[in-house]
Amino acid sequence: MDIEFPYRFDARGRTARSGHADHVRDMVELVLFTSPGERVNRPDFGCNHLDLVFVGNSPELAAALEVAAQAALQRWLGDLLTVESLTVTSEEATLHVHVAYVLTATGEHGTVTVSGGALS
Q: Which range marks the domain in which residue 84 is found?
A: 2-117
CA–CA dist 80, 50 (Å, integer): 24
Q: What is the CATH number of the domain that holds 39?
A: 3.10.450.40
Nearest to 105 by CA among 5, 47, 23: 23
Residues 34-88 pLDDT 10s: 888 888 899 989 887 766 666 677 778 888 888 989 999 999 999 999 999 999 8
Number of domains in the chain: 1
Beta strands across the sheet bearing 94-103? 81-91, 94-103, 109-117
Separation of alpha carbons 86 and 46, rounded Å: 15
pLDDT, position 53: 62
The pLDDT of residue 35 is 85
Alpha carbon 78 to its chain centroid, in Å, reads 13
- What does the pLDDT read at residue 51? 67
